Amino acid sequence: MSLKIPVEVLKYGEFDWKGDFKITKPMPENIKKIYENYQKFLEEYLNSDDPTEY
């Protein structure tokens, strides 16, 4: 399983020195929805007792 940020989102932000992605530009609603779904998945994945289920 790969936890890469969706490519569509990359042009609306940048990575800080720690490697965390920060949104720096306004994004269209459809791209915002992709990013929100990614964030939700990532949170569920990281809080899962068994990450291999993904």
Amino acid at 41: F
β-partners of residue 2 are none
Per the domain annotation, does 2 fall within a domain? no
Instruction: Of 26, 19, 23, give the one whose Cα is nearest residue 4.
Output: 19
Per the domain annotation, does 33 fall within a domain? yes
Size of the chain, expressed as the number of residues it contains: 54
Give the best-scoring range by mean pLDDT among 4-13, 25-34, 38-47.
25-34
Per the domain annotation, does 1 fall within a domain? no
Domain with 26, as residue range(s), is: 7-53
Q: State the total domains in the chain.
A: 1
pTM of the model: 0.69
pLDDT above 60: residue 2 = no
Please name the residue that has the structure tokens 């490519």: 7
> Tokens standing for 42?
């990532």
